[in-house]
Amino acid sequence: MGGGSGSKSKSSSDTTYKNTTTSNPYVESTTNNGGTTTNFKSGTSLDTIYKFTNENIGSLLNELLNPSIDSATNQAKLNYYADTLRGETNKALENNIISPLAQRNMLRSSQATNLYRDLANQQEKSIADYTNQLITDTQNNAGDVLNNLMNLVFQGYNVLQGNQAQSLQTSAGNASKQTSGNSNGYSYGL
C-alpha cells in the first residue's frame, strides 16, 4: 500500500467600488457598491422634455387616435374660415350678380332666392371640407409632435446611458479588490 497527500483550497474575491460621481451639463450619475443612479439635472432641456412627454403622452396619443374639431384652436380656425367665406362670397354674389341684374330689371326674386340658396349650399360644402381638413391636420400635427418628442426623449436617454456607462467604468477603475482564502493540506501514509 502506498501513501498520498492532497490539498483543498477555497478563495473568494470582493470588489469594492469607490463612490464616483460623473456629470455633464444634462445628467449626473453616482456609482457606489449599491449600483449606479443616474438622473437628468433638474431644469435642463432634457429634464424638461422628459417631464413634459411623460405628463402629456396620454393626451397626445388621444389626439392622434381621436382627433377633434372641438379644440379651442380648431374652433377659432373654423369660425374664422366660415365667417370669412360667408362674408366674401355673399358680398361677391351681391355686388357681381344680384345688383347688376336687379338694376336692369333682369332678375326675379325667386331667381335671387335660388342664387342665395345655391351659394349657401356651396358654402356649407366648403366648410365641411375645411372641417375634415382641420381634423386631418390635427391628427398629423399630433403625430409630428409625438415623433419629435420621442426622438428628443431617446436622445436624452442616450445621453443618460452614456453618462451612466462612464460612471460605472470610472468606478470600476477605482475599485479595490480583496481576495481571501484558506487552504487545507492533508497527507496519509503507511
| Mean pLDDT, contiguous 10-residue spans, the chain (190 residues) | 58 75 93 89 96 95 94 96 97 95 90 95 98 96 96 95 90 75 58
CA distances for 163 relative to 88, 108, 166, angstroms: 60, 82, 5
Three-point CA angle 51, 136, 129, nearest 5°: 150
**pLDDT at position 141:** 95
Amino acid symbol at 118: D
For the chain, where are the alpha helices, taking DSSP H only?
A: 45-65, 72-93, 99-103, 109-173
| Cβ neighbours around 171 below 10 Å, total | 21
**Hey, what's the cell of 174?**
477605482
8 Å CB contact between 181 and 7 = no
> Where are the chain's structural domains?
23-169
Specify the pLDDT at position 176.
75
Global confidence as pTM: 0.69
d(CA 134, CA 138): 6
